[in-house]
Amino acid sequence: MSEGKKLSGAGLRGQSAGETALSTVGVSGSGLTYRGYDVKDLGENATFEEVAYLILYGELPTQAQLDAYKAKLKGLRGLPQALKEVLERIPADTHPMDVMRTGCSMLGNLEAEHSFADQSEITDRLLAAFPSIICYWYRFSHDGVRIDTETDDDQIGAHFLHLLHGKAPSELHAKVMDVSLILYAEHEFNASTFTARVCASTLSDMHSCVTGAIGSLRGPLHGGANEAAMELIQDMKDEADARDILMGKLERKDKIMGFGHAIYRDSDPRNAIIKEWSEKLAAANGDDRLYRVSVACEALMWEQKKLFCNADFFHASAYHYMDIPTKLFTPIFVCSRVTGWAAHVMEQRSNNRIIRPSADYVGVAPRKVVPIANR
Ligand SMILES: CC(=O)SCCNC(=O)CCNC(=O)[C@H](O)C(C)(C)COP(=O)(O)OP(=O)(O)OC[C@H]1O[C@@H](n2cnc3c(N)ncnc32)[C@H](O)[C@@H]1OP(=O)(O)O
Ligand SMILES: O=C([O-])CC(=O)C(=O)O
ipTM of the complex: 0.98
What confidence tier does 263 reach under pLDDT thresholds 50, 70, 90?
Answer: very high
Examine the pLDDT at 7 and tell me if it is beyond 80: no
- Is the entire prediction scored with pTM above 0.80? yes
- Measured CA to CA, the distance from residue 333 to residue 32 in angstroms comes to 17
Q: What average pLDDT score do residues 278-300 get?
A: 98
Q: What is the pLDDT of residues 215-227, one digit of tens each?
A: 999 999 999 999 9
Q: Per-residue pLDDT averaged across 60-82, rounded? A: 98
Atom 1 in ligand 2: which residue has the minimum CA distance?
A: 190
At residue 296, does pLDDT exceed 90? yes
Measured between alpha carbons, how far apart are the two ends of the chain, in Å? 40
18-43 pLDDT per residue, tens: 999 999 999 976 799 999 999 999 99
Nearest ligand to the C-alpha atom of residue 259: 1
Please say if the pLDDT value at position 340 is more than 50: yes
Q: Residue 4 has what pLDDT?
A: 44
* pLDDT score recorded for residue 8: 56
Q: What is the pLDDT of residue 250?
A: 97
The yes-or-no verdict on residue 213 having pLDDT over 80 is yes
For all residues of the chain together, what is the average pLDDT?
A: 96
Which pLDDT value is given to residue 14?
86
Q: Please name which of 167, 170, 166 lies closest in space to residue 144, comparing C-alpha atoms.
A: 166
Q: Is the CB of 262 under 6 A from ligand 2?
A: yes
Tell the residue nearest (CA) to atom 9 of ligand 2. Answer: 187
> What is each CA distance from 305 to 238, 257, 362, in whole angstroms?
21, 14, 33
The pLDDT assigned to 47 comes to: 98
Is 312 marked active-site?
yes
Residue 260 CA, ligand 1 centroid: distance in Å = 5
Average pLDDT over residues 310-330: 98
Average pLDDT over residues 119-124: 98
User: Given 178, 312, 315, 344, which residue is catalytic?
Assistant: 312
Question: Residue 162 catalytic?
Answer: no
Closest CA to 47 of 158, 143, 123, 128: 158
User: Confidence class of residue 16 from pLDDT cuts 50, 70 and 90?
Assistant: very high
Q: Report the pocket of ligand 1 as residue ranges, CB < 6 Å.
A: 1-2, 5, 221-223, 225, 255-262, 307, 310-312
Reported as type and span, the H/E element at residue 32 is strand 32-34
105 dihedral zone (left: phi>0; alpha: psi -120 to 50; beta): alpha
Task: Report the share of the chain in percent with pLDDT over 90.
Answer: 95
Q: What is the mean pLDDT of residues 243-270?
A: 96
Please state the rounded mean pLDDT for residues 316-341. 98
Please check the confidence at residue 179 and state whether its pLDDT lies above 70.
yes
The span from the CA of 241 to the CA of 246, in Å, is 8
pLDDT, position 28:
74
Confidence at 49, pLDDT banded by 50, 70, 90: very high
Long-range contacts of the stretch 46-53 (C-beta < 8 A, 24+) = 46/182, 47/155, 47/178, 47/182, 48/155, 48/156, 48/157, 48/178, 48/181, 48/182, 48/185, 48/336, 49/73, 49/155, 49/156, 51/181, 51/182, 51/185, 51/339, 52/127, 52/185, 52/339
- Closest to 316 measured CA to CA, from 294, 337, 301, 283: 294
At 3 the pLDDT is 43
